[in-house]
Structures are given as structure tokens and as C-alpha cells.
């Protein structure tokens, strides 16, 4: 089974030298990786083509129309500038990527939206943490 999150994690970490976590940062407050910078990505949905054309001869075979996974990528950093530098490195590495990498076949990856995220305080820290959010679409098989 294809797992584009494996490719996404590896691509983010290779481009930024920052740890990327699926769903949430699971490092404990005293462990390396808890303190920014780090990246958290979440798969929001996977859209699969559904065809209900009553058996017309033009119906693609299963697997011909690849699924599209939509992710939200959130960069956590100690400064606004650092957050955007990391986000820009991610965009440079994955936007318009197509090919085989990390055991996955990626037909196309697009960073479709970027925006400032919330700033706040992580537990036990007196310094604010800044975030940048990216919406990413990955067509894979």
C-alpha cells in the first residue's frame, strides 16, 4: 500500500534538517525534538475518484486514476523569520516534485497554500513559538 506520508516526512527532513512528526510532536518536554524548530504534518483527507458511468467503455480500470492526499504541514519555530525560512525550504523541495523517492511513486506534489499560523507558548517555555501552515496535495500510487 502506498504511503505518501513516508515520502513527505523524508522530504521535509532532508530539505530542512528539522524533525517532522506525523499528527503531533511525540517527544517529551525533556527530549530532543520537543523544542522548535520542528514540523508536524497531518493528512486531512485522501480523495479517490468514484465513477458511476453505468459501464461505459471509457471507464478507467481501478488504479488508473491515482488518489490525491491532502496534508496540512505546520512549521514550529522560535521566530517568525525562522518559520518562513523552513517553510520556504519545504516548498523548494516538494512543490512540483514528481518521481520515485523513499519507496513511493509520487505523480505530483503541490504546495497549494501557505499562511501565517498562530503564535503561542509551549509548555515550560517563556519564548513564543511561531507557526507557518502549508496545504499540500500529493497525487500518488
Q: How deeply is 31 buried, as exposed, middle or buried, from its count of CB atoms within 10 A (0-12, 13-18, 19+)?
A: exposed
Q: Give 98-134 pLDDT, tens digit per residue.
A: 999 877 899 999 999 999 999 999 888 899 999 999 9
Query: What would the pLDDT profile of 77-105 be if each residue is shown by its tens digit?
Result: 999 999 999 999 999 999 999 999 877 89
Distance CA 56, CA 104 (A): 32
Q: How many residues does the chain have?
A: 141
Q: Are 107 and 140 in contact (CB under 8 A)?
A: yes
Q: In the structure grid, which three cell numbers stand for residue 110, read together?
A: 503541490
User: Which residue, among 7, 39, 25, has the nearest Cα to 133 in the 3D structure?
Assistant: 39
Residues whose CB falls within 8 Å of the CB of residue 84, separated by 6 or more in sequence, listed in order: 132
| Residues 86 and 39: beta-carbon distance below 8 Å | yes
Lowest mean pLDDT among 50-54, 61-65, 116-120: 50-54
Nearest to 131 by CA among 99, 87, 88, 101: 87
Pairing of the two strands 38-47 and 20-22: parallel
CA–CA separation, 141 vs 61, rounded Å? 14
Amino acid at each position: 500500500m502506498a504511503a505518501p506520508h513516508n515520502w513527505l516526512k523524508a522530504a521535509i527532513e532532508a530539505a530542512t534538517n528539522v524533525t517532522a512528526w506525523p499528527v503531533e510532536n511525540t517527544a517529551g518536554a525533556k527530549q530532543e525534538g520537543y523544542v522548535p524548530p520542528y514540523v508536524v504534518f497531518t493528512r486531512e483527507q485522501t480523495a479517490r475518484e468514484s465513477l458511476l458511468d453505468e459501464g461505459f467503455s471509457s471507464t478507467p480500470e481501478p488504479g488508473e486514476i491515482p488518489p490525491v492526499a491532502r496534508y496540512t504541514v505546520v512549521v514550529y519555530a522560535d521566530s517568525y523569520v525562522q518559520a518562513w525560512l523552513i517553510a520556504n525550504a519545504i516548498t523548494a523541495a516538494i512543490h512540483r516534485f514528481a518521481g520515485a523517492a523513499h519507496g513511493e511513486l509520487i505523480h505530483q506534489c503541490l504546495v497549494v497554500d501557505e499562511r501565517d499560523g498562530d503564535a503561542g507558548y509551549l509548555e515550560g517555555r517563556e519564548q513564543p513559538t511561531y507557526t507557518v501552515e502549508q496545504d499540500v496535495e500529493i497525487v500518488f500510487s
